[in-house]
Structure 1
């Protein structure tokens, strides 16, 4: 099959990878693995319950973190991704680190299903305001069990909170009857993406065995003049460490071929 590049001449769309792919590793080792796999842009995963990298560590001294990251790594950071909600002070610290590293994107979770919509709007408005003061965009991840699980809810939140976008993960929206409409619905709101191969029944499978139509996604993003990251994010517990490098290389090459 011939894959036609869909972003001819557009250099501002690029492939990145999340450090979550190596979440069981120390952050420095994860960065080393990413460089070895020939990725050249990094999304930084933050999780307080992990030994990988805690949001409280970054927020405690944004200047120290930014300086150490630049000194120790050959790969630029392009986004932060928060595994969970954090305090206002911690979020401010992460936004400060973002500015120092020239990172303009932070992904956050929406609140759990059942949270009053107005309360969520107020929470997200506050996050967008804090981030905006440092020149950073905020987007909510589309994921199961949270308010953003329903894409219509996710879009409504974006419409209600000026400046809020989506981090779109197509793995959860593979129903053949609705996949086209789902992508078209969210495309204008997408600030960031999380990509892996998946099926309707399995959120992560080997690359090439899944049902994610990467060509369709890139085509839809092209229509809305998307100019940001296509970020690879494997769920580490779903792929053995020995196979992870191969899967990441395959995904990088697949997405690169579409650009």
Structure 2
């Protein structure tokens, strides 16, 4: 079990780490968001030194954005393909030095030729990740290119060996039932967990529709042995501003513990 650094947007990375350790989490997903953000420029200039700055933090996943937002330098932008691939070489050096097993990226957004361009870009990134011994994952998300389980499976067919940063909440928000999402479980390389319901990317524990007991069983049956990241957030994105992140995190942690998931 792990937690995302961007769950605590006003904290520094050191503060977020302190909160996570106080809650009993033994690892953290890290990335380029909010107060707990990594130093992008140092990673790209001195990846091994930047990994050393983590001071022994157990890193469960790295969330890497190629630009400032979902659209800029997107994997689905053919003009950014060579630039992203070159950058990813350095990012993988950082991940390897930090002991990070997986990296997740976003697929980009829809547009003419975007699916084919994203597949080509992801194939390039996958080749880089393999050379460095890191697992590449992509996250289907609300507003993104992979807007259904069927689209996601089609991308996986186009990029053999690609894994998913799987968050059921995004699909539930878009109206898919849990049973329709389960088909993606065998392709999970990293997993995000939070409660959700149709139309709401994030919901309080008692107000969502996801059955986490069933979900963990599905993942186990599919052979998933990776990290389970609790990802409650406080962001303007998808109106996720109205939940007590600490309380919901503890509720999820306790439920996972009851299912035998080690923190």
Tell me which interval the TM-score lies in, with the shorter structure as reference length. Answer: 0.7 to 0.9
Q: Secondary structure at the match of 1:147?
A: coil
Q: Which residue of the other structure, out of 54, 77, 80, is the alignment partner of 1:69? A: 54
**CA displacement 1:180-231 (0-9 Å, x = unmatched):** 4423321111111111111212211222322111112111112211111111
Change (3 A) 1:144 1:174: closer
Distance 1:168 1:45 in 2: 17
**Superposition CA RMSD, Å:** 2.4
Distance 1:197 1:178 in 2: 14
TM-score using structure 1 length: 0.84
Q: Do 1:55 and 1:90's aligned partners in 2 also have CA atoms closer than 8 Å?
A: no
User: Relative contact order (alpha carbons < 8 A, sep ≥ 6): 1 or 2 greater?
Assistant: 1
Find the counterpart in structure 2 of residue 210 from structure 1: 208
Find the counterpart in structure 1 of residue 159 from structure 2: 161
Q: Secondary structure at the match of 1:191?
A: strand
Find the counterpart in structure 1 of residue 45 from structure 2: 60
Q: Which residue of the other structure, out of 18, 25, 32, is the alignment partner of 2:4? A: 18
Change (3 A) 1:173 1:123: same
Distance 1:94 1:167 in 2: 17
Distance 1:138 1:100 in 2: 16
Change (3 A) 1:191 1:51: closer
Q: Secondary structure at the match of 1:130?
A: helix
Distance 2:176 2:90 in 1: 40
Find the counterpart in structure 1 of residue 105 from structure 2: 108
1:54: how far off?
Answer: 4.1
Which segments of structure 1 move beyond 4 Å, counting only runs of 4 or more? 83-86
TM-score using structure 2 length: 0.82
| Structure 1 unaligned regions, length at least 5 | 1-14
Tell me the number of residue pairs that the alignment of Structure 1 and Structure 2 aligns: 240
Counterparts of 1:1-259 in structure 2, within 5 Å, are: 15-47=1-33, 52-70=37-55, 75-84=57-66, 87-116=84-113, 117-174=115-172, 179-237=177-235, 238-239=240-241, 243-259=244-260
